[in-house]
A = this chain, B = another copy of it.
Amino acid sequence: MALYVQKFGGTSVANPERIEAVADKITKFKDQGHDIVVVVSAMSGETNRLIGLAHQISDDPSPREMDVLVSTGEQVTIALLTMALQARGCDARSYTGDQIRILTDSAHTKARIKDIDVSSISEDLKKGRVVVVAGFQGVDELGNTTTLGRGGSDTSAVAVAAALNADECQIYTDVDGVYTTDPRVVEKAQRLSQITFEEMLEMASQGSKVLQIRAVEFAGKYHVPLRVLSSFVDGEGTLITFEGEHKMEQPVISGIAFNRDEAKFTLVGVPDIPGAASRILGPVSAANIEVDMIVQNIAEDKTTDFTFTVHRNDYQRVSKVLNSVSQDLGAQEVRGNSEIAKISIVGVGMRSHAGVASQMFDALASENINIQLISTSEIKVSVVIEEKYLELAVRALHTAFDLDAVEEQV
């Protein structure tokens, strides 16, 4: 008999029928004798509908009032799900973020959780009740309604699980787990039964958007076992574990992430003087543009080439900034390219295995794929290639790192 915090996202509660299916699922767990706390998002589409109403009224609505507005979405879901549970003879009770006092800072629309008072949840659980909590929302010290930012319901669930010291925080979503790579690109992609938090973070930030990064970080910090499962298909999902608990004979690479949302810029012939890099990136960051990879090689003939990647949507803005920066710096040329893709291999196993990077480069070379940029971290190697080779490259790497058969090996 365990205590589970189960989070159901917007598509899982999109309409009354799906809410009833979720209630069936919860009732089954409850009947097995488990204690259940449920965290829910707004019905899918509802948050956008509310934001649409706000934008009909104001181009720049105040963050405080946006939070008052959009937090109604989750409030509707908790009431409906609680009704559905009660209609199944399952004692249940709903709570808004304010009512269980999910205390946050006052950074409206992107608040951070400071504390949760679980006393009323614990009392309800003792009485055998299922507790249904509105995700995404909280309250600040002054009693103002706050929200955690888009996708914040995952974070709410992890925070509630941490505060209750739950046995597992289960994130129900529309995929049945974390895969070695996107199954739409590689048919032989396999669901991972386990993945470490560090790997999950690298996979998530690289574009495998199963879980909100913040929720994963939070779960890692508070040592909350996290599991990703499907709302619609029964299965074990993927358990996100801590490295020490990982199995022996860990595969070197757990997964392959990729991303075609980036564009690449190179300043060619930048004078090799101290401060050049910051004179380039300073104006970029001042324009609120996020930079991903940054690569600079050693200088030759007192000049160097400086390359970085940004989100593809920022292409035009970055071009403008760089043209003026380039003149100031006396660089030879600015080259931009948005037809690129980034591929990363991720695995805690690579820490102890030499040669992972060269194995990656070999696999790409044998398909005649040229590597434009390379960047590495402790558990990740990323390369930038021409976009048209993306699928070919991902499939080649998936095979090269024995991922096609991961499940059979377990």
Chain A residues within CB distance 8 Å of chain B: 16, 19-20, 50, 53-54, 56-62, 64-66, 68-69, 71-72, 75-76, 78-80, 82-84, 86-87, 93-94, 96, 98-99, 143-145
Interchain CA distance A65-B77 in the complex, whole Å: 10
Judging by beta carbons under 8 Å apart, are B79 and A16 in contact?
A: no
CB-CB under 8 A from A76, the residues of chain B are 50, 53, 69, 72
Which B residue sits closest to A86, measured CB to CB?
Answer: B62
Judging by beta carbons under 8 Å apart, are A96 and B83 in contact?
A: no
Judging by beta carbons under 8 Å apart, are B79 and A65 in contact?
A: yes
CB-CB under 8 A from A57, the residues of chain B are 16, 19-20, 80, 83-84, 87
CB-CB under 8 A from A78, the residues of chain B are 68
Interchain CA distance A60-B93 in the complex, whole Å: 15
Interchain CA distance A68-B94 in the complex, whole Å: 8
CB-CB under 8 A from A93, the residues of chain B are 64
Partner of A54, one of B61, B79, B98, B143: B79
Judging by beta carbons under 8 Å apart, are A82 and B94 in contact?
A: no
CB-CB under 8 A from A75, the residues of chain B are 68-69, 71-72, 75
Q: Which 5 A-B pairs have the closest CB atoms?
A: A69-B79, A72-B72, A16-B56, A68-B79, A58-B87
Interchain CA distance A239-B64 in the complex, whole Å: 36
Smallest CB–CB gap between A278 and chain B, Å? 39
Interchain CA distance A56-B75 in the complex, whole Å: 17
CB-CB under 8 A from A96, the residues of chain B are 68, 145
Q: Known pairs A53-B76, A61-B83. 13 more at Cβ < 8 A?
A: A16-B57, A19-B57, A53-B80, A54-B83, A57-B80, A58-B83, A65-B82, A66-B79, A68-B75, A68-B78, A68-B96, A69-B80, A72-B76
